[in-house]
Amino acid sequence: MNEEKEKRLTESAELEAPTTANESESDTENATDDDNTKVITGYALKFGEPSKDLGGFVEVITAEALKEVDLSNVILLHGHDYSKPLASVKAGTLKLEVDEIGLKFEATLTDTSYAKDVYENIKAGIVDSMSFGFEVGLDSFEEDEEGTVTRSIENMKALHEISIVTVPAYDSSNVQVSTRSYTKFLEEKGGENMKLNTLNKQNTEVRSFEDYIRAKGEVRDGLTTAANSAGVVVPSDVIGEVFELKRAAYNLAQYATVKPVSNGQGKYPVATNQQGVLATKEELAQIADVDADMFTQVQFAVATRAGKIALSNEVVEDAAVDVVAEVKAQLKKLVDNTDNKHIIDLLKGFTKVDVTAVDTFDQLKRVNNVELDPALNKMVIVNQDTFQYLDTVKDKEGRYLLQPDVTAPSGFSLFGNPVVVLSNKLFAPTTKDTLPLIIGDIEQSVFVARRNQVETQWEQFDYYSQGLAVIVRNDYQVIDADAARYIEITPA
């Protein structure tokens, strides 16, 4: 006996939106699309049609399965989403009939924007599949001479809803079923059956994944699944208001040169730092060619970087906060973190200058005044340790090296250049026991090629969960290697 809720896809649903409704007695049923009444027909499920492999077995629904089922509370949904009802038996807008083929339905859709969209998609042939949510009352297994195991749904305990779906296939990759009875069947056949081992492995992985989703990677006491429901029992003290840990937010890409690109690879033309001069020309003499390269090319090849997270709908529904919105905000931070890491790694590869504690002030002044072009729009990037050190250094006249600057992100400047403070974790030195510092024009130094950034969200009805993902395609390259310096200070 399996009382867990299950969902199944009916590919050959014969789903259609007829231009004229089926003939019947009432005016509503005879209405057409012309008077704003939208009628669709089809089969929510069909008897005797085997599914594809569901993890070691196929499944059929017998003609006896619906004989004891109460159909008076069935509703028609879009994508198993209870917030998007399309019709219901109680309202008289959904008619169900069990015939020799299966469960036939006729629905007069509600006058809502999403119902109109569904209708038009069906009419255009874009959507042609149905699904249904049910609870098994009785099932059985048989294995034929070729080793194919068939699960027969002989009796349904309940049919909760039927849904119009856009799922393109019905296979083991997008269908999860309750398998306790199948496990028992295999155990009776020999215990160490290979199919049983494979199934248990799949089951363990799925269950572990669900536990991770619900517990966010932690083992929590008191979190169980109800005996007669797929819902999770969430103690009141498990989910509450999201507490945001205080951490400094950075977005170093705002200081770099960021350009959208239309191809995955290419060249970014950059005018060279021209040092040549014009040749003297005699009267009527031919003009000489400029003896210098006017442009250089920055080669780029974007890479795809992505991440996803799955959320069980139990967590989403039972949380006191908008979990989905919180996850989207966290994914956005991952994009910033990715930019920051690659930009810092690039800048740490610039010409390195070692500075000692003996004469820190003068050595840093030399880098700022001599090694970097005065036309550069310079800034200073430090980590927490470097900031603490510089904030205590004084010149020979007793003046602090860092000066207050209300326009700088940190509130301080170095030689008139605004100071940005990053965390020690993000900006660590390349040499142990040194203090890292970057000074220069980041816009002149770093090129970020943006190909695309996509945020996606999808429903996985067979897992009763939803997924969110962020995908970015970009590349990080050096524009001008002389526009910045990477410095490591060795303190006393």
pLDDT higher than threshold 80 for residue 260? yes
pLDDT digits 0-9 by tens, 148-170 = 888 888 888 888 888 888 753 33
pLDDT higher than threshold 50 for residue 358? yes
Q: What angle do CA 377, 378, 380 make, to 5 degrees?
A: 155
pLDDT higher than threshold 70 for residue 175? no
Residue 11 pLDDT class (50, 70, 90 cuts): low
Residue with tokens 């250094």: 393
Average pLDDT over residues 442-452: 90
pLDDT digits 0-9 by tens, 402-426 = 899 888 888 999 999 999 999 999 9
Percent of the chain with pLDDT strictly greater than 70: 73
Neighbours of 222 (CB within 10 A): 10
Distance between CA atoms of 129 and 12, rounded to whole angstroms?
7
pLDDT higher than threshold 90 for residue 225? no
Average pLDDT over residues 47-72: 83
Determine phi and psi for 23, rounding to 5 degrees. Answer: -65, 135
pLDDT digits 0-9 by tens, 380-404 = 999 999 999 999 888 777 888 889 9
Pick from 352, 337, 373: nearest CA to 437? 352
Pick from 320, 344, 484: nearest CA to 422? 344
pLDDT for 275: 61
pLDDT higher than threshold 80 for residue 178? no
Distance between CA atoms of 354 and 373, rounded to whole angstroms?
19
Residue with tokens 């890491």: 341
For the packed helices 194-215 and 180-190, what is the interaxial angle rounded to 10 degrees?
150
Residue 145 pLDDT class (50, 70, 90 cuts): confident
The per-residue DSSP string of 370-415 comes to IIS-TTS--EEEEEHHHHHHHTT-B-TTS-BSEEE-TTSTTSEEET
Lowest mean pLDDT among 100-114, 205-219, 292-306, 355-369: 205-219
398: left (phi over 0), alpha (psi -120 to 50) or beta: left
Q: Which helix (H) or strand (E) holds 211?
A: helix 194-215
Contacts of 56 (CB under 8 A, 6+ apart): 149, 182, 186, 195, 198, 199
pLDDT for 106: 92
Higher pLDDT, 431 or 2: 431
- Contact between residue 177 and residue 5 where contact means Cβ atoms under 8 Å apart: no
Higher pLDDT, 383 or 223: 383
Higher pLDDT, 459 or 194: 459
CA torsion 258→259→265→268, rounded to 10°? -100
Distance between CA atoms of 416 and 405, rounded to whole angstroms?
8
Neighbours of 154 (CB within 10 A): 17
Higher pLDDT, 111 or 486: 486
User: Quick one: tokens of 100?
Assistant: 């020799």
User: Quick one: tokens of 251?
Assistant: 């977005």
